[in-house]
Structure 1
Amino acid sequence: MRTGVVILPEHPWPEAREIWQAAEEAGFDHAWTYDHLTWRSLRDAPWFGSVPLLAAVAAVTRRIRIGPLVATPNFRHPVVLAKELMTLDHIAGGRLTAGIGAGADGFDAQALGGPALPPGARTRRFEEFVTLLDRLLRHPATDHDGPFYTARDARTVPGCVQQPRIPFAIAAAGPRGMRLAARYGQAWVTAGDPARPGRVTGPAVLPLLARQARAMDEACARAVRDPASLDRIVLGSRLVPDLTDSADRLTAFAAGCAALGFTDLVLHRPRPSGVFAGKAGTFDAVVAAALPHIARLRPAHDANGGAAGGDGPR
């Protein structure tokens, strides 16, 4: 089983550089940052742009896979995002994974103005967003006319380092999103119940993930896709806020997720206070103790050490 870490884009670059490089040295397989304009209780706190941050991270790391978790249509246009992702893939030497999701109502959705979209419209927009982004990253020139997006001879040259395009890690909790993940994703991402992040705790967590994993299997069956070909990422810290309090707790949760077929467990690096509050020293010690054990776990779907193999979500 692979492990990843989310590092919020809130640190001045000299500090951020050390944190991201330390994540690589700690043995994480992948590292991510949130792609928001602002985020919840941190709206008035320092918050940097994910694309320039990831470009800088790509330049000062060598092994670890990186990416946004997740980019959404709330303020991203597929034509512009495709160009930025292609560029990041070149800077990173083919180590980029694009985490993408539908986006929820909130600051990001309101920042550019316009009417708020109801959930059904957001889902339809996301479907068009994913399909157009897939086309843009696969082809040097793209035309598109849709209800939400237009592209006129949009160029993506020279194309991605990873072919036919960079991998998508698609966040989904409902049937339509899971169908998109089954069709276009190299990985599926879940944080449990999107309406109740961090509030489904204790013995209810693994049964919730089991239900979602079965739903994802069904989506793969409808897409005529081998479910073992799809990496499965669980955002552990969103489900279990005190997950990294001890190595035993972390390893036990990882083992439960692996038994359900999850290939990757992602943690959030703690902050001094507020959301994801915790002690960085404790986190580092727990990770150092647990990662070797987690790396030996074999997801239930897999007979070869990972749902889709390789060194990270792809």
Structure 2
Amino acid sequence: MTALFGVGISTAVSTARETLRHAAQADRDGLDLFTVSDHPYFADRLDAYSLVGMALGGTTRIAGLVSVTNLPSRPAPMLARTITSLSALSRGRIVLGAGAGGLWEDIARLGVPKLGPGAAVRAFEEAVTLIRALCGGGDRVTFDGEFYQVTDLEPAPVPAPPVWTGSVGPKSLAATGRVADGWIPGHAADWLSPRYRTSRPIIDRAAHDAGRDPGDIATIYNLPGVITPHPLAETRNREGRWIGGSAEQWTEELTGAVLDHGASGFVYFPDDDTPTDLALGRWANEIVPAVREATTPASDPRP
């Protein structure tokens, strides 16, 4: 599998026009996807799916991802219709990001019934299962679950998109292993972090127990950091967290992540002190092409 490269873009209402411009820039520069966060309880944030729809309409090849969808505030049957509609309109340029919900005090302010951790994970897994059932045509769906009940619904004639999760706890990680196609480690944890080393085996065991190949579940990393004009003496801090460096240092680090640690993709988040246009340009035009060249097999060239 060739690694994917993306960029996280702002959802601030105050920078809406610039955000659309950055999505278009990422598309022109050949990135694979853009991601946006989903926090509908904050008035200064754009609605994630409205933003994705507008951005996909202004681009031609890049995919969009809500990382991750706040499932408690977006009922699964309606989210299935949203996702399949966006897929049809964009010719498949959508990935479904799914999460059990993190900020429950804020989520509850929307009028959504508050769930405990165990129930939230069960609802998350049930939602992904139902969304898949409502994609790809086929028999009509009647579903009588703990959290969702639908009757005699016709699936959309659109294939289910890949499903990536932001699972953190053991139960949620196990659900990822059972029903998802990709995992984004929480708290910007990377391939050298204790979080990755302790979490990924839970996903793999659950996948195996469900009769799935753990290797089919990609790991895609959210990666903040600074891109500097000159090399840094240290590219990681005392805790081992990646802080950035020159384009060459980024290239070396990400190449190793793909070849030595099986990383499937990276979503770059520009640091606050660098203009986004500049950081995005360096990421897309200097680092990404170099990592692609170093990691793409000669027998499997990119189109």
State the SS of the aligned residue for 2:60.
coil
State the SS of the aligned residue for 1:67.
strand
- Tell whether the 8 Å contact from 2:118 to 2:171 is kept in structure 1 after alignment: no
TM-score (norm 2): 0.80
2:5 aligned with 1:3? yes
In structure 1, give the amino acid aligned to 2:147: F
1:7–1:240 Cα change, 3 Å:
farther
- Tell whether the 8 Å contact from 2:164 to 2:181 is kept in structure 1 after alignment: yes
- Tell whether the 8 Å contact from 1:182 to 1:219 is kept in structure 2 after alignment: yes
Q: Which residue of 2 aligns with 1:67?
A: 65
Distance 1:296 1:225 in 2: 31
TM-score (norm 1): 0.78
State the SS of the aligned residue for 2:279.
helix
- Tell whether the 8 Å contact from 1:236 to 1:243 is kept in structure 2 after alignment: no
In structure 2, give the amino acid aligned to 1:68: V
2:210 aligned with 1:223? yes
State the SS of the aligned residue for 1:232.
strand
User: Sequence identity, in percent?
Assistant: 23
Distance 2:174 2:118 in 1: 15
Cα offsets for 1:264-289 (capped at 9, x unmatched): 01112445xxxxx5432551353132
Q: CA deviation at 1:104?
A: 1.0
In structure 2, give the amino acid aligned to 1:154: L
CA RMSD of aligned residues (A): 3.2
Q: Which residue of 2 aligns with 1:293?
A: 290
Distance 1:170 1:303 in 2: 31
In the TM superposition, 1:1-314 aligns within 5 A as: 1-11=3-13, 13-38=16-41, 43=42, 46-106=44-104, 108-113=106-111, 115-139=113-137, 141-157=140-156, 159-160=157-158, 163=159, 165-191=160-186, 197=187, 205-237=192-224, 243-258=243-258, 259-271=260-272, 278-287=274-283, 288-298=285-295
Q: CA deviation at 1:304?
A: 8.0
Q: CA deviation at 1:221?
A: 2.2
Q: CA deviation at 1:71?
A: 1.0
Q: CA deviation at 1:60?
A: 1.3
Q: CA deviation at 1:291?
A: 1.0
Q: CA deviation at 1:20?
A: 0.6
1:213–1:251 Cα change, 3 Å:
farther
1:289–1:61 Cα change, 3 Å:
same
State the SS of the aligned residue for 1:74.
helix
In structure 2, give the amino acid aligned to 1:262: A
State the SS of the aligned residue for 2:257.
helix
In structure 2, give the amino acid aligned to 1:246: S
Distance 1:223 1:67 in 2: 26
Question: Relative contact order (C-alpha < 8 Å, sep 6+): which is higher?
Answer: 1
- Tell whether the 8 Å contact from 2:184 to 2:220 is kept in structure 1 after alignment: yes
> Could you tell which deviates more after superposition, 120-129 or 290-299?
290-299
- Tell whether the 8 Å contact from 2:26 to 2:34 is kept in structure 1 after alignment: yes
